[in-house]
Amino acid sequence: MNNKKALITGITGQDGAYLSQLLISKGYKVVGVTRDTSDFRLRNLTYLGLNGKINLHKANLLDLSNIIRIISKEKPDEIYHLAAQSSVGLSFDQPIGTLEFNIIATANLLEAIRIINPAIRFYNSSSSEMYGKVRQEELPVTERSVLHPVSPYSISKASAHWITINYREAYGLYSVCGILFNHESCLRGENFVTKKILNSAIKIKQGSLNELRLGNLDIRRDWGYAPEFVKAMWLMLQQEKADDYIICSGEHHSLFEFVKKVFNNLELDESKYLVSDNKLHRPVELETIYGDNSKAKKGLNWNYDINFDKLISLLVTDEQAFIEWEMKNKGY
Ligand code: NDP
Ligand code: GDR
């Protein structure tokens, strides 16, 4: 058993919950930071049975004094920075808030580490969205591909990415970025497309819904399974040398394929229920993106082996169990 302590920001989100579960299973003491400890926010931790196993702090990551107080008190060995306004779509409606939180929270955490204890290891979740406008011939993207972000969210993530690297290069911190491609689970927020598809398809199957309305169905993404992605985050902080890694499945499929597979899995014909809605298109869209995960597989020994069919089947099964749990635990 190890006696390490990890602090996770964004602990109530999809990745925060799965990462907490992983670290607790490895014997870590886990401390979490959240804006609010209301029951609704704790849904993911409750679902995984982690309530009571984590020491939660209410904090505003824009307030450096708040962060300094928590890090000084808890003395973590590792910090996993997952908190963000993480919706690309919402960032077009809330550009300033997204830029402010996603950039300044990251800078505040790194500055607090530099002031309090530069030996604390720091992980930051960067995003495939940072690559943005990629030409077909430049795919799959690698850690060395050029960044060309096309949304307020991806611009904020590109800044946080370079701030994290800069603290490594300028001050010698062990600060690293996982460049994550879309990864999904039943703990995904309701405003992300896979959760919407899975939840709607199951409700259509149950007879309580009769349509699924989506935006651009032609986009192609490199979708992965969230519980496997958090393993890579942990591995990144266990290396001799700090470095950044792309974390992705390496496969790419269109949103239409995703819908079709989910409906087929439930023995439904998607053409009877799928409605394409132009109002759900984004002002600027990233059409196709997929990555090369060979650096992570080789360098971190990250064993990811979930192909698209297996991913869909896991997501459908997980979502069915989640809906059942939600019905039984209304109000959690
Ligand atoms: P979630 O949105 O599920 O969780 C993020 C957490 O950040 C929330 O639970 C919330 O915690 C906090 N948060 C949300 N909005 C704000 C806001 N406006 N201001 C302050 N805090 C906020 O994200 P994921 O778990 O999916 O992702 C984790 C990280 O990884 C994020 O940084 C995301 O950008 C990044 N990422 C995710 C990918 C994915 O496919 N999931 C891919 C690439 C990068 P609370 O309310 O408790 O404070
Ligand atoms: P994304 O995820 O923007 O890639 O960001 P999202 O699931 O929101 O969108 C994926 C793609 O689906 C298209 N789409 C729709 N999206 C939503 N949300 N709702 C719809 O109805 C719909 N119809 C079509 C979108 O246009 C888009 O192309 C996620 C987040 O987790 C980020 O934090 C992370 O950095 C990136 O993945 C990698």
What is the per-residue pLDDT across 114-168, written as a single tens digit (0 to 9) for each?
999 999 999 999 999 999 999 999 999 999 999 999 999 999 999 999 999 999 9
- Ligand 2 near 89 CB (within 6 A): yes
**CA nearest ligand 1 atom 14, residue:** 85
Q: Where in the chain is the domain with CATH 3.40.50.720?
A: 5-184+222-247
Contact between residue 193 and residue 200 where contact means Cβ atoms under 8 Å apart = no
pLDDT of residue 106: 98
Which spans in 75-189 are helix H? 88-93, 95-116, 152-171
Please give the number of the atom of ligand 2 that sits closest to the Cα of 286: 28
pLDDT of residue 331: 57
**CATH annotation of 5-184+222-247:** 3.40.50.720
Query: Rounded to an integer, what is the distance from CA 146 to the centroid of its chain?
Result: 21
Distance 55 CA to ligand 2 centre (A): 31
Given the DSSP bridges, would you call strands 220-221 and 253-254 parallel, antiparallel or unpaired? Answer: antiparallel
- Ligand 2 near 83 CB (within 6 A): no
Q: Any residues with Cβ below 6 Å from ligand 1, and which?
A: 10, 12-16, 34-35, 41, 82-86, 101, 125, 127, 180, 182-183, 189
What whole-number percentage of the chain has pLDDT above 90? 94
**How far is the CA of 208 from the CAs of 74, 185, 199, 205, 211, in angstroms?**
47, 22, 11, 8, 10
Please give the number of the atom of ligand 1 that sits closest to the Cα of 87: 2
- Band of the pLDDT at 1, cuts 50, 70, 90? low
Distance 135 CA to ligand 2 centre (A): 20
Position 40 pLDDT exceeds 80: no
**CA nearest ligand 1 atom 19, residue:** 85
Does domain 193-220+252-289+309-328 fall into CATH 3.90.25.10?
Answer: yes
Is the model's pTM score more than 0.85? yes
- Ligand 2 near 256 CB (within 6 A): no
- Ligand 2 near 274 CB (within 6 A): no
CA gap 176, 245 in Å, rounded: 8
- Residue 275 has φ and ψ, to the nearest 5°, of -120, 130
- Band of the pLDDT at 332, cuts 50, 70, 90? low
Q: Where in the chain is the domain with CATH 3.90.25.10?
A: 193-220+252-289+309-328
Measured from the alpha carbon of residue 278, the closest ligand is 2
CA gap 124, 285 in Å, rounded: 24
Measured from the alpha carbon of residue 199, the closest ligand is 2
